[in-house]
A and B are shown apart, each in its own frame.
Chain A
Amino acid sequence: MNIHIPTPLRTYTDKQETVSVDGATVAEGLAALTAAFPAMQQHLFTAEGKLRSFVNVYLNDDDVRYLPAKEDSLVASTDELTIIPSIAGGCTLTGCCR
């Protein structure tokens, strides 16, 4: 499968935008990615091994968190995984920083 890497994490994949890995499930694909690029581990997962809350992983067009088997979802070699950090914010009632 191909895993698409977002701009800020390419520092840890030798600038590669797309990484091709082997694996039968989403979890195996991510494990192969972090095995090849160990620095990715801390950026994708918490110390407890959970996917960080602001890191979204999509299997083709589906959010892995909402798939029935979640990270154990089966992946074909032609499937694409996309890692995409969330983007959010806003001017809260507490005011803005200067």
Chain B
Amino acid sequence: MPLIIPQPLYNQLRAHGEETYPHECCGILLGNSDADHLTVCQLIRAGNTRTDSAHNRYNIAPQELIAAQREARKHNLDIVGFYHSHPDHPAQWSPTDFAEAHWFGCAYVITSVDGDKTTGHAQLTNSFLLTGATEEDKAFIPQRIEFDSPASK
């Protein structure tokens, strides 16, 4: 199941990771899902509440998630995924990412941002689909990212 995202939104989530470097950025992806696709229509930047360890941890406040869910409802959209950055680490899920992933069927997009601890540049961006239905059988599987222009819809 690919993640379909307009190129401008893809660029925005990568730019977010550069802006917050050397800290992790995070955000919410709104869109639609069906049996074959997750399609992103809107991106909502979120604050990282893990100010105690923002270089290697992120947490989105539930209030921001609820606001995002309300925003999605207004536009007949759903929360279809999340994104965050890995400063000076690979664009691969970590044990912490996996342990704290609970949104089954949603995309977890990770961008690696490399830098000199002052300025960072986005490198790879990967998406992982959280499959399964319970904490016991969940798994992250790599998910192809495809670009879609809003003008083509």
CB within 8 Å of B: which residues of A? 4, 6-8, 11, 17, 42-43, 54-56, 58, 61, 63, 82, 84-98
Which residues between 66 and 98 of chain B lie within 8 Å of chain A, taking CB atoms?
A: 66, 69, 73, 78-80, 82, 84, 86-87, 89-90, 92-98
Number of interface residues of B (CB under 8 A): 44
Can you list the 7 inter-chain pairs with the closest CB atoms, starting with the nearest? Answer: A89-B97, A90-B57, A91-B89, A85-B102, A88-B59, A8-B104, A91-B86
In the complex where A54-B102, A96-B86 touch, is A89 in contact with B96 (Cβ < 8 A)? yes
Bound CA span A7–B59, Å: 19
Residue of B nearest to A58 (CB): B66
A-B contact count (CB 8 A): 116
Q: How far is the CB of A28 from chain B (nearest CB, A)?
A: 21
Which of B65, B101, B105, B133 contacts A89, CB < 8 Å? B101
In the complex where A7-B105, A11-B133, A90-B58 touch, is A95 in contact with B89 (Cβ < 8 A)? yes
Q: How far is the CB of B76 from chain A (nearest CB, A)?
A: 10
Return 10 A-B CB contacts under 8 Å, by A number. A4-B69, A54-B102, A58-B66, A85-B102, A87-B102, A90-B57, A91-B89, A94-B95, A97-B94, A98-B92
In the complex where A91-B87, A98-B90, A98-B92 touch, is A6 in contact with B97 (Cβ < 8 A)? no
Q: How far is the CB of A11 from chain B (nearest CB, A)?
A: 7
Q: How far is the CB of B108 from chain A (nearest CB, A)?
A: 8
Bound CA span A6–B68, Å: 11
Q: Would you call A86 and B102 a contact (CB within 8 A)?
A: yes
Bound CA span A97–B113, Å: 16
Q: Would you call B56 and A92 a contact (CB within 8 A)?
A: yes
* Chain A residues within an 8 Å CB radius of B78: 7, 17
Q: Would you call B59 and A82 a contact (CB within 8 A)?
A: no
In the complex where A84-B62, A84-B65, A90-B84 touch, is A96 in contact with B102 (Cβ < 8 A)? no
Which of A8, A58, A91 contacts B62, CB < 8 Å? A58
In the complex where A7-B103, A84-B62 touch, is A90 in contact with B95 (Cβ < 8 A)? no
Bound CA span A6–B63, Å: 13
In the complex where A7-B106, A61-B63, A97-B94 touch, is A89 in contact with B69 (Cβ < 8 A)? no
